[in-house]
Structure 1
Amino acid sequence: MSNTLAVAAVTSAVRYVLHQSLGDEPAPVGGADVTTLRPAQVAELGNVGEVAAGLNVYLYQVTPNHAWNLDGLPTRHPDGSLARRPAAALDLHYLVTAYGDEEALEPQRLLARSTLALAATPVLTKSVIQDAVATFDTEATDFLDAADLADQDEAVKITPTPLPLEELSKLWGVLGTPYLLSQTYTATVVLLQAGLPVRTPMPVASRALAVRPFSRVLLDAVAVAGGGPAVTGAMLVLTGRGLLGARTAVRVAGERLAPDPSSRTDRLAVTLTDAVRAGVHGVQVVHEAAPGAPGEPVRVLGRSDTLPLVVRPDVGTPTTTGTHVEVPVTPPVAAGQRATVSLARVAGGDDADPALVEEHTGPVPEAGPPLDRLDVPLAALTPGTWMVRVTVDGVASLPTMSGDTYDGPSVTLP
């Protein structure tokens, strides 16, 4: 990886390769030099006679290198800290222009030299980059001493990329100057990396190797015993093969739940506690090794696939205070979660009164306690009977029913 001087270092290296070709036989073009100006500036220099002949290297476009940018490794840990330094992979597109005395065919002679030079040096090696920095060590380019392109793991390669006549016409039109004899090249790949601190894992202090029989855990289905929603206190029934081991746990939303004593190897029963937050989660059966020394992580001997489970919030009986309607909810709304209390009018009130009122909460602060009650200001409500539902992280509570009619939970305001 390279620092942000890498792009300028590539331009300098291309300039150096072309500069080395100007003095070769046969018939060198006397006084020719290599510049890094805009093509319009080159035309102006030629008009006033300051530069009789030469080559010009101009970086006209920069594009992302898709092969390197498709790297799927994450750059951050779940807590947001850096796992590796962010990087950007770039391809550089250059326009090499030859100019000089047309009657003496100087542009053609110079362009032939540049073409052969870049064909003979298609890779910008470490020595080429270092020689370029030393050759063009002027006051304007002394910053290149800090470039670390020469240490990049992936060498930069130069390849000719001829443009169709239409694209070439558009390019020179954008540059705003009459056409000069030229050729286009692509330099790939330049890897830029941010110099941010990265948290690295601690080295392994010791290694413990053991041989054990293979434990295959197959989880086929997850259901709620007796039907109904998955709420706090509900019993989940997990069916499959090889589910029960010497030490078995069921993991839901990061929580470890112990199976019911009645569980079998093809059927596990586990009760949802209020530690399992509402939302859409994965359910997984794991077989664990016997506890090790204090402080050692739990070793997993086998694990099943993960199946989805929708854990719904359960709304208790709403009550009123002098200023609010208090809505109890289980499990409590945990840190980072968002909740919405919806009150829909089912009876009473006037036609002009609102039919639906919503109160949004969250996200709950990380440092704060979970919320087992959600408040709705009485000022937002009018007299009548309101049915109450709570939605947590996109999962809504289910109302109760009497026969075929939804009837609760509800609150009646005089």
Structure 2
Amino acid sequence: MSNPLAISTVSAAFLRRILSAANAAVPNAKVRLGAPTAKLAEDAAPLVNLHLYRVEPNAAHANDHLPTRGATGQMRGPSKLALNLHYVMSFYGNHDTFEPDLMLGEVMLALEHEPLLSKATIRNAIDDNEELEDSDLEAALARLRVTRQLMTIDDFSKIWSIFYQVPYALSLSYEVNHVVIETSDRPPIATPVAHPGLWVSPVSTLRLDAAGTAPASSIPPVWGSSLHVAGRGLSKPGLELEVDGGGLVMTGVTQSETTLTVPLDAPTFGGAELTVGVHRLQAIVPKIRADQPDHLRTRSNALAFALSPAITVGAISAPPGGATATGTVDIGFTPSILSDQAVRLLLDDRNPATPAQVVLPGRIPVAGGPNAASLTFSFVSLPRGDYLVRADVDGLLSPVTLDRTPGSATYGQITGPELSL
């Protein structure tokens, strides 16, 4: 790792390598750092021009340093960048005496023979440039490799198009990788451990797969019924369950290796009532020893399940007579509806010849208001007849009643709840 001066230091060290090779081919040859210019071709002096034209992330080491911060935002380590530097190298001189060709051959051979930028070359480059005296690239662990890139005529024409009105010169393209730079920030020193300890636990097969009204079912249950959970490793003695982070009373829970049956009642939930909506279920294996910290206990995956509202049709208030009715109907809810939950009532005409649905809006949701065990819905000019009643609470529908009596005339059909006008 090194500071941000590493990029400039690489360019200076690369330039130094080129200078020695170019002088071996053409005495008094010079090197230059920067974009090519038209004047270089006009002067025709022996010179090698080096230009850094592209910098890109090093894909192999881009994520070596992650994460740099913990879950609380506290820094764990400095931020780092792994980069590849792309250079274009152009050769100028007297073509009659083959100066560009001679320098090109010598430079290519030198970089092929020794493709690494040595620490001595980097140190000498730093000593030659006072702007780089604070560079620490020499101490970096990563070794810098110079690799020739295979470039087509089309590739070079695209690169050269960025140099406005500069005639093309004999050129090569090289890549230097991988250059790692990092911030100077240092993480705080961790507090020493007062009581070191080592915990070893077997790999758990604990897993939750589905939860609903029946094993392998995802249909939402209602309060007062049972939640059937399918999974693996559920028969462990001392297994605990959490819903929304709160522990359940396991007295009434039935366990097997692949299923759990959880009563949806107040005793199981410590005297509380579970609200209509989506909840989070998680299983926790028992402690290996009494002094085992809770955060080291093996947990299952978190599984979401929904609780639907159960309804009862109460008093209906509507004057008799006429083809239509205007009035109100009381609907009881189990569990109680929270004040900020959106509620509406769905009435489906039971006459198959004229199927239709009427939607009765409920109260306006208000944060912080009282819960409601029942709500009154108003209807206006509703055609008289029989209606199937369902409640929609935040998108969760109350279940319907099916006739499960064998031999019944309505066996397998929906029989309620109904509203009759």
Relative to the length of structure 2, the TM-score reads 0.65
Quote the offset at 1:77 in angstroms: 3.1
Describe how 1:307-318 pairs up with structure 2 within 5 A.
308-312=303-307
Q: Secondary structure at the match of 1:147?
A: coil
**In 1, Cα distance between the equivalents of 2:119 and 2:94?**
35
Structure 2: 5+ residue stretches without partners: 263-267, 313-333, 349-358, 372-377, 383-389, 402-413
Q: Which residue of 1 aligns with 2:180?
A: 191
Deviations 1:91-141 (A, max 9, x none): 11110111112222211122223212322331123332221111233xxxx
1:102 aligns with 2:99: no
Matched, 1:34 2:31: yes
Please list, as runs of the form range in 1=range in 2, the aligned pairs for 1:13-412 lying within 5 A after superposition. Answer: 13-24=13-24, 28-30=26-28, 32-40=29-37, 43-47=38-42, 49=43, 52-69=45-62, 71=64, 73-137=66-130, 142=131, 144-176=132-164, 177-196=166-185, 198=187, 202-209=191-198, 214=202, 216-219=204-207, 221-224=209-212, 229=220, 235-239=226-230, 242-245=233-236, 247-252=238-243, 254-264=245-255, 266=257, 267-270=259-262, 271=268, 279=278, 281=280, 283-292=282-291, 297-300=294-297, 302-304=298-300, 306=301, 308-312=303-307, 341=342, 373=369, 391=394, 396-399=395-398
**Could you tell me how far apart the structure 1 residues matched to 2:274 and 2:79 are?**
36
Contact kept? 2:310, 2:399, Cα under 8 Å: no
Measured at CA, do residues 36 and 360 of structure 1 come closer, stay the same or move farther in structure 2, by a change above 3 Å? farther
* SS state at 1:223 partner: strand
Deviations 1:37-62 (A, max 9, x none): 2112xx32453x4x822111101112
Specify the SS of the correspondent of 2:61: helix
One-letter amino acid matched to 2:8: A
Note if contact 1:280-1:309 (Cα within 8 Å) is conserved in structure 2: yes
CA change 1:37–1:245 in 2 (3 A) is: same
CA RMSD of aligned residues (A): 4.7
Distance 2:204 2:98 in 1: 77
Q: Is 1:249–1:288's contact at 8 Å kept on the other side of the alignment? A: no
Instruction: Tell me, in whole angstroms, the C-alpha distance in 1 between the residues paired with 2:160 and 2:111.
Output: 22
- Alpha-carbon spacing, 1:280–1:164, altered in 2? closer, same or farther (3 Å): farther
How far is 1:173 from its partner? Answer: 2.0
Letter in 2 for 1:309: A
The 1:11/1:202 distance shift into structure 2, 3 A limit, reads same
Distance in 2 between residues matched to 1:59 and 1:239, nearest whole Å: 61
SS in 1 for 2:286: strand
Q: Percentage identity across aligned positions?
A: 24
CA positional deviation for 1:169: 1.7
